[in-house]
Amino acid sequence: MLPCRLDPKVKSFIAAGQALGVWHRQEWASMLPVLALEVKPDETVLDLCASPGSKTLQLLEYQSGASVDGGLLVANELSRSRALVVAQRSRRADRRSLLVSRREETKQMEDKRGRIHRLLSW
């Protein structure tokens, strides 16, 4: 990461917004896999390593235009504490299409049509 010399007021503003859940900072390395998936609003997506939730929030943005019968995002995280982090970070997002789970066996995680369209396993 490049050194950053932001004004202390700007740093404070950014930190306050992140603490409130208004926005979330994300590294490029986390953004690229989600971009590569080319998720559409009506697809079912399984995120196998969902914590800390940056990629999950990005995926929710792609699905925010879906109708009630639209897509589904299953954010799977085995650790209970880490799954709670994902749920808490997504509290201000449109979560109609979000399911946070802690399943070890994921082959049964399918949509009502019996398929997963996209899989994020980073």
- Give 18-53 pLDDT, tens digit per residue: 777 777 777 888 889 889 999 888 888 899 888 888
Q: Residue 90: which pLDDT band, with cuts at 50, 70 and 90?
A: confident
| Residue 55 is assigned to a structural domain of this protein | yes
| Residue 65 is assigned to a structural domain of this protein | yes
| β partners of residue 119 | 46
∠ CA 12-29-109, rounded to 5°: 105
| Residue 18 is assigned to a structural domain of this protein | no
pLDDT for position 23: 76
| Residue 71 is assigned to a structural domain of this protein | yes
| Residue 14 is assigned to a structural domain of this protein | no
Give the CATH number, domain containing residue 67: 3.40.50.150
pLDDT for position 65: 61
| Residue 8 is assigned to a structural domain of this protein | no
Q: Determine if the pTM surpasses 0.85.
A: no
Instruction: Please name the amino acid found at residue 78.
Output: L
Counting the structural domains of the chain, the total is 1
| Residue 15 is assigned to a structural domain of this protein | no
Q: Residue 68: which pLDDT band, with cuts at 50, 70 and 90?
A: low
pLDDT for position 114: 66
- What residues make up the domain containing 56? 28-120
Helix residue ranges per DSSP H, the chain = 8-20, 28-37, 54-63, 80-89
| Residue 93 is assigned to a structural domain of this protein | yes
Is 77 annotated in some ligand binding site?
Answer: yes
